[in-house]
Chain A
Amino acid sequence: MVTHPIMSWLNAWNQLMAGFFLLCSFGLIAAAQVTGCMRFYVLQSLFLACSAALLGMLDNSTDLFMVAGIYIIAKVILIPVLLKRTAREAMIARRELVQVIGVPSSLLIALGLTLVAYYIALPLTAGANSGTRIGLPIGLAAVFIAAYTITVRREALPQMLSLLAIENGAFFAGDAIAPHFPLIGELAAVFDVLMIVLVLGVLSTQVHRSLGNTTVGSLAQLGED
């Protein structure tokens, strides 16, 4: 289907980015410390940006190049800086994170989710180009895995980073299936991500100050008794 040799190189690189992107989702589950989670998130965003740029070359879409630039600025540079400013205390607490379900079982569950995503995407991508066939299942899988990570993580910041990873997954799929998505939509999403970091970062600092830790998973005062 792809004839030009350059195209096949670009496709291969795009697939590679997809693989690394998915690995970062797994890393977010397995990371033992808050800073580790953060590094995996930043890496994932970097791969997202690379993939956007590669897809931009494949689809001749200048929008996607701008999108890649926006990702780099917002997610790779701004978010770590913002987080370090708003949630410094929770961030530098160097202790091992607790999880509701252990890391190996979580990884296996995440693998299962990847398969589910693959089979959901399979009928939709029939006849689509190779970017879509890779992007949609990987993006869906990243969304599912990140949603699962939110439920097993008990600390505020890892939960928040998984939340942002969902957005990454959505856009990994989005860049592939809708390369001409209005730029205003991408900007809206990035604005939203930054607001999430600001608001939840400040909130987690408040939680940290009032409770001494950020194990929000063990907050169970409220509830219908």
Chain B
Amino acid sequence: MWIGLTLLLPVVAILITALPVRAAVAGTAAALLAALNVAVAATIAVQLAGHSPVTLVPGWLAIDSFGGIVLLLETFGALTALLFSVGYLKSPHISDRRLKRYLLWLHLFLLALYAIPLLNELALVWLALTLTTLFSVFLVSFERTPAALEAGWKYALLTTLGAALALLGILLLYWALTKAGGSDFTWHGLTRAAGEMPGSIVSLAFLLMLVGFGTKAALIPFHAWLPDAYSQAPFPVCAMLSILESVAIPYVILRLVGTIGAAHGSHAPQWLLVFGLVSAGGAALLILQTREYKRLFAYSTIENTGIILTAGAMASNHLKQAALWQMIAHGFTKPVIFLAAGIMFVLVGKLRISEVRGVLSASWVVGSVVMLAGLALAGAPPFAIFLSELAILKSGMVGSQAWVVMLLAAFMIVSFCAITYHLFRMVLGKAPEDSARDRSVIAIACWWALVVALVPVVVLGWWMPPFLHHLITGGAAALGGTSP
């Protein structure tokens, strides 16, 4: 019943948007519905933590602990993004009609996004993932400038290309499934048949899916679309894209490895490890040399996705738990940083790091919020990411694969230094005379969004709710984690 509600609420939001009401009304209603959805996702999460599975249609719509985490992160991100959008897009330059269209696409995008952890049939999971791209194209190109259109085109083309490759992978995987005598193309059915599937076919299928979904998640070297899309998309859209890339897609990839890794000679975990490490390392270097703060945060999303995939690819159960924790910590932190950056952008009106100076002296509230969010993202204590990264390092330092974790540690240090360096350059110092606008231009809804988004980041740094802990242990078990 709860699952149905999760999918029903965005549909209601779409219907409200389609009604002839003003965009502000539709936006407020959407934010309220999103808040309701967070409550629904939390209820599902609590139920899952109490070990009662949540199923609507067996074999089609059901969710387990891992999915519960993902759903919670998605709904929460959606709530903050919608709240922020209401304030951020309230501008005389943007017509009511355009705003409503924006809301419409955003709701469609969210609907597809929520469907990913809920659906069990693999072909439908693929469809939901592809639709997230297609529904977000017009969100990326929202500004309608030539640059935004270019970014939108690249984004649409490359990610759809990835989805098409993944489709071939899905078909090959089904072939392997039928060769193993199965016909139930769900996560469950795959897990049952995995031992019998021919390794060579599974290998090719997984590689195609990894490249395909990896293009969507902007894993390096398939990240060509990402800097452009992020620099052109509105800030709340960036936040949602980050959730898609660092939560929903790693969910699918890790699930795949968890189910088909058991096939003989598939080498899936090894492939994932390589891709994860390359992404984490490459992104850390990209963070160093970037010149726009939106892209800076985008690269940090890739880095975290890389860390999550690397940790999730390793056999140890502790590491898998730590990967899920990292997913949760980053998934809650990313909206905060994009929303804070959005507020900063409203204040200073510049995107390049070198053109932003002394935010703290221009407005101490904005400056300190950006500072706080940036430190949380970089992985400074006492925030959630610090703890989750520590957990990865702690549980990975034992065993024969300790070198992997050492590499990850190096990448984390590089990105920490790079993020704080860029952050201090922007926040500290003396503001140029003419640049800063009055703080009152920032809409009240934006502040609310930021406050809401900050709550879990701060709380998780000090205290882990027991239900979340249960979800993580349950989720790691679903990933095929073994005790060391």
Check if B130 is an interface residue, CB within 8 A of chain A.
Answer: yes
Question: Which A residues touch B141, using CB under 8 A?
Answer: 203, 206
A124, B147: Cβ atoms closer than 8 Å: no
Chain B nearest CB from A113 CB (Å) reads 14
Residue of B nearest to A164 (CB): B164
In the complex, identify which listed stretch (B49-57, B152-160, B363-371) lies at the interface while the others stay far away.
B152-160
Check if B191 is an interface residue, CB within 8 A of chain A.
Answer: no
B178, A222: Cβ atoms closer than 8 Å: no
How far is it, in angstroms, between the C-alpha of A178 and the C-alpha of B165 when the chains are bound? 17
A221, B185: Cβ atoms closer than 8 Å: no
A184, B123: Cβ atoms closer than 8 Å: yes
Q: Which of A166, A170, A185, A191 contacts B185 (CB 8 A)?
A: A185
How far is it, in angstroms, between the C-alpha of A222 and the C-alpha of B151 when the chains are bound? 8
A169, B168: Cβ atoms closer than 8 Å: yes
How far is it, in angstroms, between the C-alpha of A40 and the C-alpha of B124 when the chains are bound? 29
In the complex, identify which listed stretch (A4-12, A20-28, A104-112, A194-202) lies at the interface while the others stay far away.
A194-202
CB within 8 Å for A167 and B150 given contacts A178-B178, A188-B124, A191-B127: no
A166, B161: Cβ atoms closer than 8 Å: yes
- Per DSSP, are chain B's interface residues mostly helix, strand or loop, or mixed? helix
CB within 8 Å for A166 and B150 given contacts A123-B200, A188-B126, A192-B127: no
Interface size of A in residues (CB-CB distance below 8 Å): 47
B157, A182: Cβ atoms closer than 8 Å: no
B156, A180: Cβ atoms closer than 8 Å: no
- Per DSSP, are chain A's interface residues mostly helix, strand or loop, or mixed? helix
Question: Which B residues touch A143, using CB under 8 A?
Answer: 164-165, 168
Check if A3 is an interface residue, CB within 8 A of chain B.
Answer: no
Q: Which of B130, B149, B174, B200 contacts A181 (CB 8 A)?
A: B174
Check if B344 is an interface residue, CB within 8 A of chain A.
Answer: no
How far is it, in angstroms, between the C-alpha of A156 and the C-alpha of B149 when the chains are bound? 12
A206, B127: Cβ atoms closer than 8 Å: no
A185, B164: Cβ atoms closer than 8 Å: no
Residues 261-303 of chain B, each 1 if its beta carbon lies under 8 Å from chain A, else 0: 0000000000000000000000000000111000100000000
User: What are 22 contact pairs spanning A and B, CB under 8 A?
Assistant: A124-B200, A124-B201, A124-B204, A150-B157, A170-B171, A171-B167, A174-B171, A174-B174, A184-B121, A185-B170, A185-B185, A188-B124, A188-B127, A189-B123, A192-B127, A195-B131, A210-B146, A221-B147, A222-B231, A222-B232, A223-B228, A224-B289
Interface residues of A (CB under 8 A from B): 120, 123-124, 139-140, 143, 147, 150, 156, 159-160, 163, 166-167, 169-171, 173-174, 177-178, 180-182, 184-185, 188-189, 191-192, 195-196, 199-200, 203-204, 206-207, 210-211, 216, 219, 221-225
